[in-house]
Amino acid sequence: MTVNDGTDSESSTPPSSPKLDRGGVVGAGGGTEDTAAPGGAEEDGGGRRKHRLPSMVNLYRGPGGSELSKDVLNNITIFMKKQRKGTIDVWWLYDDGGLTLLVPYILSTRSQWSQCKLRVFALANRKDELDIEQRSMANLLAKFRIDYSDVIVIPDVAKKAQESSKLAFDQLIENFKAPGEISEEDEGVLISEAELLGQREKTNRHIRLKELLVENSKDSSLIVMTLPMPRKTSVSAPLYMAWLDTLTSDLPPFILIRGNQTSVLTYYS
C-alpha cells in the first residue's frame, strides 16, 4: 500500500546539477546566462577560455564613472611602469633621520627606476662655504653607501622671491583671507593679516623654493622633498596647504616625506 503525503516524488528528489553549455549556464527558465569575466574572455587555439585583463581605462575611473585623461592615468600608474633614463631629485631640506634620502634610494634600486640617477640637493647655511658643505655631504653619502650622480648645494634660499611668484601665491590664498577680525569659529580656517605678517619669512622661503625647483628639477622623473612641518597652532590650514600647493604644482611627480628624526641610515665610523 502506498501512502500519498501530497508531495510529488520528482520534486522531492534533490535538484540535479545545471547543464553546461558553451554559451553559458542553463538557467531556471531554460535560457543561458553569460559566464564571462568582467574583463572579458576569449578562446585560445586549443578551445580553452582565457580571461582578458581589463585595460587601465576601464580599471581606473573618475567621479560618476567618467573616463580619466591619459595624463592622469600615467600619473596613477607611474610606479608600475619602466621609467626612461632620467633623474630622481632629492631635496633633503631638514635632518629627519634620513628617511627623505632612504626612500628614493630604495626606489632607484628597483627595476622600474633603475635607469634613473639620484641627485641630492641640500641647503647651505653660508654662501662662502659651498665647497666645504658640498664635500661634507658627498662624504656623508659615501658613508651611507648611497649611490648618487651629483650633489648640489643651494646657497640663496633666503633670497627675496620674484614679484610674479608672490603675486601667484597671493591669488592662491585670496579666497581664504579673512575680511577683518577672525571669530573663534573661523580660527584656523581663514588666514588673518596678522598671520600673513608673522609668517612672511616662511612664506617667502617656500615661494623661493618653488623657483629653485623649477630652475633645477622641472625635467626630472621624480622629485622627493622633506615635508615642511609648521608649529602647532601657529599656522592655519589654508596657509599651510597653500605652501604645499606652491611647492608641488606644475612639476613632475612629487613626493613629500618626513621622518620622525629616528635614524634610518647607519654607517661604520
CATH of the domain at 144: 3.40.50
Does 98 map to a domain? yes
Distances in Å between the alpha carbon of 151 and those of 29, 136, 148, 181, 215? Answer: 73, 10, 8, 47, 16
Cα(74)–Cα(76) distance, integer angstroms: 5
Does 103 map to a domain? yes
Cα(209)–Cα(215) distance, integer angstroms: 10
Q: pLDDT, tens digit, for every residue of 8-22? A: 444 444 444 444 444
Q: pLDDT, tens digit, for every residue of 178-216? A: 887 776 766 778 888 888 999 999 999 999 999 999 999
- Comparing 56 with 84, which gets the higher pLDDT? 84
149 and 169 together in one domain: yes
138 and 76 together in one domain: no
How many separate domains does the chain show? 2
Q: Which residues of 220-246 are buried (b: 16+ CB within 10 A; e: fewer)?
A: bbbbbbbebeeeeeebbebbbebbeeb
Distances in Å between the alpha carbon of 251 and those of 48, 74, 199? Answer: 48, 14, 25
Cα(217)–Cα(45) distance, integer angstroms: 50
Does 39 map to a domain? no
Q: Which residues of 165-183 are buried (b: 16+ CB within 10 A; e: fewer)?
A: beeebeebbeeeebeeebe
pLDDT for residue 69: 86
Residue 29: pLDDT band by 50, 70, 90 thresholds? very low
Q: Which cell numbers hold the place of 231?
A: 608649529
Q: pLDDT, tens digit, for every residue of 201-258? A: 999 999 999 999 999 999 999 999 999 988 777 899 999 999 999 999 999 999 999 8
Does 192 map to a domain? yes
121 and 244 together in one domain: yes
Provide the β-strand partners of residue 167: none
Range of the domain at 185: 84-257
Q: What angle do CA 80, 81, 83 make, to 5 degrees?
A: 135
Say how far residue 123 (Cα) sits from the centre of its chain: 24
